[in-house]
A = this chain, B = another copy of it.
Amino acid sequence: MPENLEAKPVTVPTLLVLDADPLPRLGRLTGRVRVEHADASTLAGRLPAADVLLVWDFASDAVRRAWPGEGPRPRWVHTASAGVDHLLCPELVASDTVVTNARGIFDRPIAEYVAALVLAFAKDLPRTLELQRERAWRHRETRRVAGTRAVVVGSGPIGRAIAGTLGALGVRTALVGRTARSAVHGPEDLDRLMAGADWVIAAAPLTGRTPGMFDTRRFGMMQPSAYFLNVGRGQLVVEEALARALRGRWIAGAALDVFAAEPLTPDSPLWELPGLVVSPHMSGDTVGWRDELGAQFVELYERWAAGLPLVNVVDKQRGYVPGH
């Protein structure tokens, strides 16, 4: 008996949760893990005792800041997000710790969100709502989306889901990935595809190669009738360059769901740029999403506890989960 009691701390893994509100629902794991909680201020102190770290507060960069400290580190880090840019630091990349992400949860919701914005722009819906406030009956001709051309930058599951949904609406959609392969263009085709596109959609992860890829030169090559949408990461876009493109009517409009600094502060000039739709990083967050994220982690945990190989494993060098 005393032996068992003493052994227990060794056999029950410690799951450290970097919290956000509301807490994850980890029902099936009750009693099988020792759950501890941390916030940005306590994370560094609690990391050494953790076997597993669940990054539930994926808007925080606390992991990237706390990881390089002293002591042992969790063997596995899971983030309840598709992007991993907020946690990868050189020390974590170089370590043996496995990093997994929420691949799969956000694909269809984000694809629907992009379709919503594409259709809203095509049908001039923001202007319709403005005219309604003015009680003005003003007929306009709008655009058909069927037959238009989109380029989606980012060929992971989210980019592919966007291409599938736009394709179902008759939009001819090209995917651009890190390297050319079947049905995916390489970066060398991006300029040409952007120049011919009606819709340019950023859905790439933030990696060493992608910051600032949408800059003045690239906005300058878009058609004046074209729209730019970003559902990837804010840092993909040079925001001042987009502001210039919108103010100068180089392009017809844009929608940003992600920003270099989030939340966007009330004094940001982005709120009032002509033709820009601003949304608060919510494109993938449909009702029930947190439950889905919790259930996904529980499933991964079952594999880990059983000694099975994890899925959704991030290539820490590349900064995303490689796949077809």
Give me the interface of A with B, judged by CB distance under 8 Å: 108-109, 112-113, 115-117, 119-120, 122-123, 125-126, 128-129, 131-132, 135-146, 165, 168-169, 262-264, 266, 268, 271, 277-282, 285-289
The residue that A142 contacts in the complex, of B120, B132, B135, B286, with Cβ under 8 A, is: B286
Evaluate contact between B112 and A285: CB separation under 8 angstroms: no
Shortest Cβ gap from A141 to chain B (Å):
5
Residues from chain B with a CB closer than 8 A to the CB of A108 are 144, 146
Evaluate contact between B169 and A115: CB separation under 8 angstroms: yes
Shortest Cβ gap from A231 to chain B (Å):
12
Shortest Cβ gap from A278 to chain B (Å):
5
Evaluate contact between B282 and A139: CB separation under 8 angstroms: yes
Copies of this chain, count: 2
CB-CB under 8 A for A137 and B264, given A112-B122, A128-B277, A129-B126: yes
In the bound complex, how far is the Cα of B117 from the Cα of A126, in angstroms?
11
Residues from chain B with a CB closer than 8 A to the CB of A271 are 132, 135
In the bound complex, how far is the Cα of B283 from the Cα of A142, in angstroms?
8
Evaluate contact between A116 and B122: CB separation under 8 angstroms: yes
Evaluate contact between B169 and A266: CB separation under 8 angstroms: no
Evaluate contact between A145 and B277: CB separation under 8 angstroms: no
A115 and chain B: residue at smallest CB distance: B119
Shortest Cβ gap from A267 to chain B (Å):
8
Evaluate contact between B277 and A141: CB separation under 8 angstroms: no
6 A-B pairs with CB atoms under 8 Å apart are A112-B146, A126-B129, A128-B277, A135-B266, A137-B263, A137-B264
Shortest Cβ gap from A217 to chain B (Å):
28
Evaluate contact between A120 and B112: CB separation under 8 angstroms: no
Evaluate contact between A285 and B146: CB separation under 8 angstroms: no
The residue that A119 contacts in the complex, of B116, B138, B144, B146, with Cβ under 8 A, is: B116
Residues from chain B with a CB closer than 8 A to the CB of A109 are 142, 144
CB-CB under 8 A for A139 and B281, given A112-B122, A169-B115, A271-B132: yes
The residue that A282 contacts in the complex, of B117, B122, B140, with Cβ under 8 A, is: B140
Evaluate contact between B280 and A142: CB separation under 8 angstroms: no
CB-CB under 8 A for A141 and B285, given A116-B123, A125-B120: yes
In the bound complex, how far is the Cα of B278 from the Cα of A289, in angstroms?
31
A276 and chain B: residue at smallest CB distance: B132
Evaluate contact between B112 and A282: CB separation under 8 angstroms: no
In the bound complex, how far is the Cα of B288 from the Cα of A143, in angstroms?
9
Evaluate contact between B287 and A112: CB separation under 8 angstroms: no
In the bound complex, how far is the Cα of B141 from the Cα of A109, in angstroms?
11
